[in-house]
């Protein structure tokens, strides 16, 4: 997919963004599949320079769909992590020493990308970048790993 203009990307992010009455913000990729494809392609285009071999995200529906789009556009596979009673597990067995791109829709205080970074780094993987659709106003990972937010 060709790189889109910033205005088109902003419109696509807006189409996917939902806000609750309480002010919580999230991305819902089911409301506009074309917009979801656009956002995933934009993350993949930005992340390609880091040459990831694998995309890892949390095992939530919107996160998983976004990671699938990013991984497909990068020509790599994806894996999902789950958090249960404070224990993080990754569903798939990861190849040793993988170059990993962490992806999220928005860095949730409960399921932070930094937790995945710490786990993967401790297992001998190299996190090459971290990406989010919406900025939560804080770094995605607490390291010098390249990180970017689309909005």
What is the pLDDT averaged over residues 79-87?
93
- Residue appearing with tokens 């106003």: 137
Pairing status of strand 87-90 against strand 77-84: antiparallel
120 within domain boundaries: yes
Query: What is the C-alpha to C-alpha distance for residues 130 and 148, in angstroms, rounded to an integer?
Result: 7
1 within domain boundaries: no
Q: CB 81: neighbour CB atoms within 10 A?
A: 22
| pLDDT tens readout for residues 124-142 | 999 999 999 999 889 999 9
24, 103 Cβ separation under 8 angstroms: no
48 within domain boundaries: yes
For the record, the structure tokens of 10 come out as 């902003």
32 within domain boundaries: yes
| pLDDT tens readout for residues 107-126 | 888 889 999 999 999 999 99
Query: What is the C-alpha to C-alpha distance for residues 134 and 10, in angstroms, rounded to an integer?
Result: 11
42 within domain boundaries: yes
Assessment of whether the complete model's pTM goes beyond 0.85: yes
Query: What is the C-alpha to C-alpha distance for residues 108 and 110, in angstroms, rounded to an integer?
Result: 5
Paired residues of 131 in beta bridges? 103, 148
Domain hosting 122: range is: 6-149
Give residue 3's pLDDT band: very low, low, confident or very high (50, 70, 90): low
47 within domain boundaries: yes
- Average pLDDT value over all residues in the chain: 94
Nearest alpha-carbon partner for 90 in 101, 82, 98, 102: 82
| CATH number of residue 108's parent domain | 3.40.50.2020
Query: What is the C-alpha to C-alpha distance for residues 54 and 140, in angstroms, rounded to an integer?
Result: 18
Number of domains in the chain: 1
87 within domain boundaries: yes
């Amino acid at each position: 997919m060709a790189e889109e203009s910033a205005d088109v990307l902003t419109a696509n992010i807006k189409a996917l963004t939902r806000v609750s009455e309480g002010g919580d913000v999230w991305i819902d990729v089911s409301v506009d599949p074309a917009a979801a494809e656009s956002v995933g392609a934009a993350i993949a285009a930005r992340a390609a320079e880091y040459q990831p071999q694998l995309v890892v995200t949390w095992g939530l529906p919107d996160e998983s769909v976004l990671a699938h789009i990013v991984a497909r556009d990068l020509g790599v596979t994806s894996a999902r992590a789950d958090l249960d009673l404070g224990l993080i597990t990754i569903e798939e067995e990861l190849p040793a020493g993988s170059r990993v791109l962490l992806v999220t829709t928005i860095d949730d205080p409960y399921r932070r990308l930094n937790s995945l970074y710490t786990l993967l780094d401790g297992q001998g993987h190299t996190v090459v970048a971290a990406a989010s659709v919406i900025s939560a106003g804080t770094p995605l990972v607490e390291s010098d790993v390249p990180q970017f937010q689309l909005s």
